Amino acid sequence: MAEVLVYVDHVDGAVRKPTLELLTLARRVGEPVAVHLGPNAEGAAKTLGEYGAVRVLAADAPEFADYLVAPKVDALQAACESVRPAAVLVPSSAEGKEIAARLAIRAGSGIITDAVDLEAGDEGPVATQSVFAAAYTTKSRVTKGTPVITVKPNSAAPEAAPAAGAVEALAVSFSDGATGTRVTARTPRESTGRPELTEAAIVVSGGRGLNGAENFPLIEALADSLGAAVGASRAAVDAGWYPHSHQVGQTGKSVSPQLYIAAGISGAIQHRAGMQTSKTIVAINKDAEAPIFDLVDYGVVGDLFEVVPQLTEEVEARKG
Ligand SMILES: Cc1cc2nc3c(=O)[nH]c(=O)nc-3n(C[C@H](O)[C@H](O)[C@H](O)COP(=O)(O)OP(=O)(O)OC[C@H]3O[C@@H](n4cnc5c(N)ncnc54)[C@H](O)[C@@H]3O)c2cc1C
């Protein structure tokens, strides 16, 4: 069976959920081989093996942390040349997409970004994308070289499928360009204790209907009751009510959670572009004609200042 390379997204060896989703999707196409760059490959291999990695190709060097993406591209290219995989899967983060694009150019391969599903096809893996503000779903396959595919977080539920996960050293020699851009400082983001917006299984977003920054704690309280991330429309962000890093939409982040709750958001096309692939969509809006109701699974026509606190209370009560 052909092997499929999966680029591992991790923090010091703690494998992040999107990688487990990639391993799950990779098994539809071939045997997953994980590429782990940086420290603690042995620790990561336990998780990677549990989710189906037959092998873990590991390399650690200061270059991975000290410079921007080029050293990682060198390593992934080395893995690609040694394995000759049926496909290379990379998480669709900003960094992942840059790594994937550079790899595809070097390898002379076609690339598909932001896939939301993946299946085996007679002539190679077929990726599903949601395009034109999610108005269309397309299926595509790479016709040239080794398919390089980036997959959005939450595209598949991670399924365990124990495999050997044997760690093997990956030999990497860095190119001249690898050390062209050095990282000069790192400041960790202040933790809110909430999940990362693009990876969260549940997102609760607030819009202009909130009427001011002072009312966003209503959204935060509902989010916290559900273990969700907080999002915002551009109108709320532009008004300075919530940080731009939380903006969902065409010029913000693209999210695809299991559940998306929009409160006081009208559902403009640019907002929909960033959330329409969510599995279940719930909207709370006092205007029954608001366009958001065209795409919801459940809609509440009502005042968010009444509905949201009641919802939070009910969720808390049911948690017992
Ligand atoms: C190039 C470009 C890029 C853009 N990118 C983005 C983007 O990335 N993300 C994004 O979100 N927007 C984006 N926009 C802006 C977008 O067009 C909308 O202006 C924006 O999404 C509107 O935000 P909103 O829904 O919060 O506000 P509004 O459209 O003003 O809607 C507010 C809603 O709240 C409801 N409401 C008011 N009070 C209450 C209440 N008490 N209870 C319940 N409901 C209430 C109203 O009925 C209304 O439907 C972009 C626009 C352009 C031109």
Provide the residue ranges of all domains of the chain, joining segments of one domain with +.
Answer: 3-179, 202-319
Q: How far, in Å, from the CA of 31 to the mean position of ligand 1?
A: 44
**265 annotated as a binding-site residue:** yes
pTM of the predicted model as reported, rounded to 2 decimal places: 0.83
Q: How far, in Å, from the CA of 230 to the mean position of ligand 1?
A: 16
Confidence at residue 190, expressed as pLDDT on a 0 to 100 scale: 82
Q: How confident is the model at residue 135 (pLDDT cuts 50, 70, 90)?
A: confident
User: Is 143's pLDDT higher than 90?
Assistant: yes
Torsion (CA) 125, 11, 75, 58 in degrees, nearest 10: -90
Kindly state the helix (H) or strand (E) to which residue 114 belongs, with its residue range: strand 111-119
**276 annotated as a binding-site residue:** no
**Residue owning the nearest CA to atom 31 of ligand 1:** 266
Retrieve residue 89's tokens: 């899967």
With 0-12 / 13-18 / 19 or more C-beta atoms within 10 angstroms meaning exposed / middle / buried, residue 106 is middle
CA-207 nearest atom, ligand 1: 26
Distance CA 282, CA 299 (A): 6
Q: How confident is the model at residue 133 (pLDDT cuts 50, 70, 90)?
A: low
Tell me the per-residue pLDDT of 247-275, one tens digit each, with 9 for 90 and over: 999 999 989 899 999 999 999 999 999 99
Tell me the per-residue pLDDT of 76-98, one tens digit each, with 9 for 90 and over: 999 999 999 999 999 999 999 99
Same fold, 3-179 and 202-319: yes
CA-304 nearest atom, ligand 1: 42
Query: Quick check: 192 and 206 in contact, CB under 8 A?
Result: no
Tell me the per-residue pLDDT of 44-57, one tens digit each, with 9 for 90 and over: 999 999 999 999 99
Q: How far, in Å, from the CA of 267 to the mean position of ligand 1?
A: 6
Confidence at residue 88, expressed as pLDDT on a 0 to 100 scale: 98
**29 annotated as a binding-site residue:** no
- What are the pocket residues of ligand 1 if the criterion is a CB atom closer than 6 Å to any ligand atom? 207-209, 233-236, 247-252, 264-266, 268, 270-271, 274, 284-287, 290, 303-305
**Residue owning the nearest CA to atom 48 of ligand 1:** 266
Q: How far, in Å, from the CA of 259 to the mean position of ligand 1?
A: 19
Query: Quick check: 123 and 30 in contact, CB under 8 A?
Result: no
Query: Which fold, 202-319?
Result: Rossmann fold (3.40.50)
Query: Quick check: 5 and 14 in contact, CB under 8 A?
Result: no
Which one is the CATH code of 3-179: 3.40.50.620, 3.40.50.1400, 3.30.2130.10, 3.30.70.141? 3.40.50.620
Retrieve residue 293's tokens: 């109701």
Q: What is the DSSP letter of 110?
A: -
Provide the sign of the torsion angle of the four alpha carbons 35, 36, 41, 45, taken in this order: negative
Confidence at residue 229, expressed as pLDDT on a 0 to 100 scale: 98
232: nearest Cα among 213, 257, 190, 301: 213
